[in-house]
Amino acid sequence: MSPIAHASTFTPLPLEGEHSVLRTLQLGMEWFPETAGTAGGLNRVFYDCVNHLPKAGVQVQGLVVGGPTVNKNSAGLVSSFAPMDAPLLKRWQAVRQQVRQQLSTQEYDLVISHFAPYAFPVLNLLGDRPLVTHFQGPWALESNVEGGARGWRFQVCKWIEKTSYDKAQRLIVLSDAFRQVLHQEFHIPLDRIDIVPPGVEMERFDSSLSQAEARTQLGWPQDRPILLAVRRLAKRMGLENLITAMEQVRAQQPDVLLMIAGKGPQADALKQQIEERNLSDNVRLLGFVSDEDLTLAYRAATLSIVPTMAFEGFGLIVVESLAAGTPVLGTPIGGIPEILRPFSEELLFDDASASAISRGICEVFAGQRSLPDADACKAYVHQHYAWPVIAEKIKTVYQSALKA
C-alpha cells in the first residue's frame, strides 16, 4: 500500500442521518500525515476511514500514537495516547488509560481495531461492546520477513495478534489473500471474515492534465518512457528484483527511466545496487514525494510497476495509479491479482522474479501486451473502489457485529 504521506488538509465529511449513526471508538497505529514518506497502508486506511465513514453514518473517535498536534490536525476526531518513540510497554499503559477513560465518559456502539498490538492491552476493558478488527497485514509475519521478530519474539508477537483476533466479532480484510492468511495462520473461521477493499478519493486523481503537462510540472523528461514504483523501501516490496530487471529492460529500451518514490530502511542498499549495476541513468530514487506531486507522478508515468514479493494485502497504489488513468503491471502476490485480473490479465507478471518482471515490461514495449487506456482505468476504479461505495460496505460489517 502507498508509502507517501497525505499532505492535504483533513476535512471530515458530515454525518448523514443522525438517527442511523453508529458510534465507534477506533484504535489506529499512527496518524498518516505525521509519517511522511514511511507510512504503510494501515495508517492510510485508518486516516481515510476517519475522513469518509461519517458520510456513511459512522461516528468516529480515534486513538493513535503521535505528536501533540494530532487532535488539531484531525479536527478533534483523533487523539494521541503516546509519542511514537515511547517503549511498547508505555504505549500499552497509555492506551489502556485512554480507552478506559473514553469508555467511561462516552457511549460507543462498537470498538474498532486497526492494529492488533494496540487492541491487545484493552481487550478486558470492552465489556459487552462488540470488537471489529480491520486486518491490514500479519504484524509478526511481516516483521519476520523484514528481519524483525524472530524465534521466541516472533511467537510472542503472533500470540498477541491471535489473542486480539479471537476477541473480534467480525474481521475486515482487504482481499481474499488476507482472508486466507487470517484463516490459515490464526485459525479464524471464514464466516467471521469480510472482504472490503480500501477506497480511493476519485476527485483527487481527476486531473485534466495531459501526461506531457504533468511531466513539465515535475521537471521529468518528455522524451523517455517512464516507469513509476511507489513503495516503502522495505525488503518484501520487491524493489531489488525490479532494479535487477531494469538491466534487461534497458537492453531493449535504452532510454527507459524508472522512478522509485518512497522512503524506508532499504534506501542505502538500493542506491548501492543501482550504482553497482551501472543503472544510475535509468533508475532514480526520489525519496519522499508529496501528495500533490504523487498525483502528478501517476499521471506523468507511462505505466506503474508493483513488484511485491510477499504479504501484499491489497495494493492501494495499484488502484491509485488506475484512478489517475495510468495502467499498472503487478506481481501475482496477495491482493494484487484480485484487483488486476478482473480488469485485464495483461497487467499481471507471471511471478515475482526479476526475469518475469523484465519480461513483462519488455513485452509492453514490444507491443506484445495490450494495456487499457486512461478512460478504462478510471472507469474501473470508479465502479469498484470509490470511497462512497467502500464506506457503505464497512458500515454494513459494523452493523452485522452488533447483531452477532
pLDDT score, position 142: 66
Instruction: Spell out the residues 6+ positions from residue 230 whose beta carbon is closer than 8 angstroms to its own.
Output: 2, 3, 4, 261, 262, 289, 294, 297, 298, 304, 317, 320, 321
- 20 compared with 321, residue with greater pLDDT: 321
Q: What is the pTM of this model?
A: 0.78
pLDDT score, position 4: 42
The structural domains of the chain, ordered by start, are 18-199+386-403 (3.40.50.2000), 202-383 (3.40.50.2000)
- 203 compared with 243, residue with greater pLDDT: 243
pLDDT at position 129 over 80: yes
| Of the candidate ranges 56-70, 108-122, 146-160, 352-366, the one whose mean pLDDT is the lowest | 146-160
pLDDT at position 127 over 80: yes
pLDDT band at 310 (very low <50, low <70, confident <90, very high): confident
> For residue 315, how many other CB atoms are within 10 A of its CB?
29
DSSP string for residues in 216-285 = HHHT--SSS-EEEEE--S-GGG-HHHHHHHHHHHHHH-TT-EEEEE---TTHHHHHHHHHHTT-TTTEEE
| Average pLDDT score over the chain | 90
pLDDT score, position 19: 45
Residue-wise pLDDT tens digits, 215-265: 999 999 999 999 999 998 988 899 999 999 999 999 999 999 999 999 999
Residue 261 — φ and ψ, nearest 5°?
-105, 130
